[in-house]
Amino acid sequence: MFKYTQIHYRCFDFAHDDGITMINNKPCYIFGFGMEKLAKEICNIVHQQRKAVWCNGPTSLEVMKHIDGFMAEGAHWSWLGSVQYLGLKKPLVALQQVRNSRDHERVLKHCLLTGAQPSVPWKLEGEKGLFGESKETHKLIPDTRIQIKCLFSAYTPLLNLLKKRVWVCEAHALTLSPGVKGNIFKVGNNYVVTIVSMDKSIFDTNVFPERIEVLIRLSDASKIKKATLFSVNSQEKKEVTVELKEDQAKMMIPNHLTSSLILIEMSS
């Protein structure tokens, strides 16, 4: 694998003119065009060696065109929201740089929403975390705190079901009850629906089950064979009843707590 770092630069060069960009009525050149050309040339060379190219921090579809996978790197989960649409069919990894367990869980929830995979949780030393002097003076050691282990043990089985996913781009493909967020992906011949409650945690002791209605609209909904519910709050998986009507499928989740996933298996 080839790592192509810092692919996000989109500064302006006022000594050149790209024929398109203008700032304050003055022609200039946006670095994004140069980054696009570099990405194409570098990826062509690397792909000829039968290797994949991964990058971090992309900001445009043009630059991402030749990249095989990418990372959302940063100390805040909002970065996933900024780049998620660049990876509708490409793998995305959340390189989280957060310390407390609540922030780690928010990253994992956003992974479920965006179809991303989390990186190994590192033990961040010092105020600078993975930045600056800390990178030179401290070893990168996996975070082995009990709460972090519990989080990844609970969320990993659901996230594993999202590997090799692609986004479902059919109109109004997913509708959920108010108060929760979710997304729908296709994995192979099957579909996966993710459901998260952003204001709840697996560590909360006063969380009560919610009844969630799930309505999906798919052109091949009539081929649904089976639906199975997975939850971060329980290791038990449960079959879900599916009501089919033309291109729609309706399901009721009676006991959603923090984060859930529905694996929808299709007939061939």
Do the beta carbons of residue 55 and residue 67 sit within 8 Å? yes
Residue given tokens 């099957």 in the structure block: 190
For position 126, what pLDDT does the model report? Answer: 52
Rounded Cα gap, residues 204 and 96, in angstroms = 22
For position 132, what pLDDT does the model report? Answer: 47
Q: Is 147 exposed, middle or buried (0-12, 13-18, 19+ CB in 10 A)?
A: middle
Indicate the residue type of 214: V
Candidates 64, 49, 61, 50; CA nearest to 4 is: 64
Token pair belonging to 108:
């994992």
Kindly state the helix (H) or strand (E) to which residue 136 belongs, with its residue range: helix 132-137
For position 231, what pLDDT does the model report? Answer: 97
Token pair belonging to 102:
């609540």
Q: Angle, nearest 10°, between helix axes 101-114 and 146-160?
A: 10
Query: How many C-alpha atoms does 183 have within 13 Å on its Cβ side?
Result: 21
pLDDT tens across the length of the chain (268 residues):
888 887 877 789 999 999 999 999 999 999 888 888 989 999 999 999 999 999 987 878 888 889 999 988 765 667 788 788 898 999 999 887 777 888 889 999 999 999 999 988 777 655 444 444 444 445 667 777 888 899 999 999 999 999 999 999 999 999 999 999 999 999 999 999 999 999 999 999 888 899 999 999 999 999 999 999 999 999 999 999 999 998 999 999 999 999 999 999 999 8
Domains with residue ranges and CATH for the chain: 2-160 (3.80.30), 165-266 (2.60.40.1180)
Do the beta carbons of residue 191 and residue 264 sit within 8 Å? yes
Rounded Cα gap, residues 60 and 229, in angstroms = 36
- The string of pLDDT tens digits covering residues 20-79 is 999 999 999 998 888 889 899 999 999 999 999 999 878 788 888 899 999 887 656 677
Do the beta carbons of residue 162 and residue 182 sit within 8 Å? no
Handedness of CA 13, 19, 25, 26 (dihedral sign): positive
For position 138, what pLDDT does the model report? Answer: 56
- The string of pLDDT tens digits covering residues 67-82 is 999 988 765 667 788 7
Q: Please give the distance of CA 197 from its chain centroid, rounded to a whole number.
A: 16
pTM as predicted: 0.88
Residue given tokens 């061939």 in the structure block: 268
